[in-house]
Amino acid sequence: MVASTNSRISDDMFTDEVIADPYTYYGRLREEDPVHWNEQYSLWVITRYDDLVWLTRHNELFSSAVFKNDPKPPYPTIYDSDLGLYEFVREYQSRQFIQHDRPAHLDMRKVVHGYFTPRSMEEWRPMVRDAIKDLLDEAEERGSMDVMRDFATPLPLLIIAQMMGVPKQDRPYIREVAEKLLYVGRGEPWRMQNFSEGIREMIEYVTPLVEERIVNPQDDFISVLARGEREGVFSREQVISNSSLLLLAGHETTINLLCNGILSLIRNPAQWEMLREDPEGMHVKATEECLRHDSSVKSITRIAAEDVELRGQVIRKADRIRWFISSANRDPRKFPNPDDFDLTRWPNPHVAFGAGIHHCLGATLVRVEGQEAFRAFAERFNALHLDTTEELEYQPSITFRSVKEMPITWD
Amino acid sequence: MARKLRITVDHDVCVGNAMCETFATNTFALNEERQSEAVNPDGDPLSQILEAADNCPVSAITVADAETGEKLFP
C-alpha cells in the first residue's frame, strides 16, 4: 500500500490489465480513494462494501434512470457520427423497468416480481437438472468441453427461452443478438453500431411474440409483461423493451457465474474436494461463494438525484456514479481474507445481485442454476483441468466479467 | 380474535428490497439501515402478511403462530 500511494491511479478502466484482473485495480481504489473522481470519464467510482450497500438502499438519492438522466455524453467517447444511434439507444433503454425510479419502478416491478419468487423458481429446478444432465452427457460422449460454449451458454439460454415462451430453434439467434446488446458495457468508440443493431434485431424478433401474447396469453413471462400492458402499467414499446431485457439478463449473468465459478473450483483444488465430498451439503454455499468471489456483474451505474456527501466528497446532482460489485465483494472490512475462495463462508452477504429496491429480479433463478450446475459437476467428475496453457481472456467490458473461452478436460 | 403472529426478518439475508412493505404496509417498515422490520405483527390480515413473506426475493421472512409455534411461512 505504502509503495503505491505515490503513483497516480490511471483512469483508463479498459486496459488489458484491468480487464484481466479487475481486483487489483479496483482493490487499490478501494483502499486509497474509495470515492474516486475519474476525470477521464467524468465519473464517481465507488468501491467499498459499506458505501455500495448504503447507496443501493438510498434509491431516492441515486436515480436508476441513467440513460434518460445522464446529461453528459457516453464514456468512453463514441464517434460523433454515432450520436444519432446513441439517442436511439437511450430511448430504447429508458423503457426498461430497471431504468426507472419510484413510483413508476414499483408499479412496473410489481407486474414482474411475483413471477420470480423463490417458491415459484423452485418449480424450475427439475428442468434445470435435466438440462444439465443432457449437456454433461453430450460433453462426455464428445470427450471435450468448452465450459463457455458447451455448457454455460446453452443451459441458461434453454431455461430463459422456455420461461419466456420463445421457440426452441431460436435460441442460437437470441444469443447472437444478445452478444450485440452486450456492447452496452464496452469501450470501443464504434460500439453504438453493434449495440443499436442488436436492439433493432431484438425489437424485430420480440414484437410478433408480444403481439401474439396480447391476444392469446399463455403462462409464460412475455404474457406477464403483456398483462402489464392490459393493466395500463406498460406501453407496447415498454413490453417489447422489457421482454428483450429479460431475454438478455436472464442468461448473460448466469453464463458468467457458471464459467467464473467452475474456474474458481479448478484453481482451488481443496475447495473442489470439499464440494465433491458433500455436494448436497455444500452446493448452496459454493454458489454463494462463487457469486462473491468472481461476480458476474462488475459494476452498476446511477445518476445523483441531488447533492450527496460521501466520505468528505460532494457528489453533485446529475453527476454520474459507477459502483463496483467486484471490489465491494472483496472488501476486507466485510469479508476476512477476501481474496480467498472459501466455500465455508457463512453467512455470505455479498452484493453480487446489488441490494435495495433494484435487487436483481432473477437472483433466485441464477442461484438455482448455479447450485444444480456446481452440484452436477462435483457428482460427475473427479477432477477438472483447464485445457490450455494460455491465460484466459475476458471480454473488454466494464459491466460484465465474461471469459471468452474456457476449454477443460476432466477425469 | 385474530391469532397472534411471530414474524422474523433475518438481517443477515435481507437486502432491503422493500417488497414486504408494499404487500403488508402496516406490518413491515424499513429501519435506519433500510432493512425490513416487522414493526406490527397485527398490522395486516394474515393473507397479506403471507403474501409479503412469499414475495421476499431472498426468503428472509418467517411467520409463525405466536402461541402454538405453528410455522405459517415458509
pTM over 0.90: yes
Q: Judge whether A169 and A268 are in contact, CB under 8 Å.
A: no
- Tens-digit pLDDT string for chain A (411 aa): 444 455 788 999 999 999 999 999 999 999 999 999 999 999 999 999 999 999 999 999 999 999 999 999 999 999 999 999 999 999 999 999 999 999 999 999 999 999 999 999 999 999 999 999 999 999 999 999 999 999 999 999 999 999 999 998 999 999 999 999 999 999 999 999 999 999 999 999 999 999 999 999 999 999 999 999 999 999 999 999 999 999 998 899 999 999 999 999 999 999 999 999 999 999 999 999 999 999 999 999 999 999 999 999 999 999 999 999 999 999 999 999 999 999 999 999 999 999 999 999 999 999 999 999 999 999 999 999 999 999 999 999 999 999 999 999 999
Could you report the predicted ipTM of this complex, rounded to two decimals?
A: 0.95
Inter-chain CB proximity B12 and A114 less than 8 Å: no
Q: What's residue A6's pLDDT? A: 53
Chain A residues inside the 8 Å CB shell of B33: 57
CA distance B1 to chain A (A): 30
Q: Out of A57, A363, A364, name the one closest to residue B16 (CB).
A: A57
The domain limits of chain B are 5-73
Inter-chain CB proximity A349 and B12 less than 8 Å: yes
Looking at the DSSP bridge assignments, the partners of residue B28 are B38
Inter-chain CB proximity B22 and A353 less than 8 Å: no
Q: What's residue A1's pLDDT? A: 43
Inter-chain CB proximity B19 and A113 less than 8 Å: yes
User: Residue A84's CB: how many other CB atoms inside 10 A?
Assistant: 11
Q: Judge whether B41 and B5 are in contact, CB under 8 Å.
A: yes
Only one residue has cell 497516480, namely: A8
CA distance B17 to chain A (A): 4
Interface with chain B: mutation pick from A119, A335, A365, A371, highest number of B CBs within 10 Å: A119
Q: Out of A56, A106, A117, name the one closest to residue B55 (CB).
A: A117
Query: What's the start-to-end Cα distance of chain B, in Å?
Result: 23
Q: What's residue A40's pLDDT? A: 95
Angle at the Cα of A234 from the Cα atoms of A228 and A238, rounded to 5 degrees: 120
Q: Out of A347, A349, A357, name the one closest to residue B17 (CB).
A: A357
Q: Is A57 helix (H, G, I), strand (E, B) or coil?
A: helix
Ordered strands of the A43-46 beta sheet: A35-38, A43-46, A320-324, A299-304, A62-63
Please give the mean pLDDT across all residues of chain B: 95
Cα gap A50→A73, rounded to integer Å: 29
Q: What's residue A9's pLDDT? A: 87
Query: Looking at the complex, does the CB of residue B16 fall below 8 Å from at least one CB of chain A?
Result: yes
* Grid cell locating A73: 455524453
Which residues are CB-contacts of A59 (< 8 A; sequence separation ≥ 6)? A101, A102, A356, A357, A358
Residue B44 has pLDDT above 60, yes or no: yes
Inter-chain CB proximity B15 and A359 less than 8 Å: yes
| Cα–Cα distances in angstroms (integers) from residue A133 to residues A155, A162, A264, A375, in the given order | 10, 17, 22, 11
Which residues are CB-contacts of A355 (< 8 A; sequence separation ≥ 6)? A52, A53, A56, A57, B15, B16, B17
The domain limits of chain A are 16-410
Inter-chain CB proximity B12 and A119 less than 8 Å: no
> Hey, what CATH topology would domain A16-410 get?
Cytochrome p450 (1.10.630)
| CATH class of the domain whose range is B5-73 | alpha beta
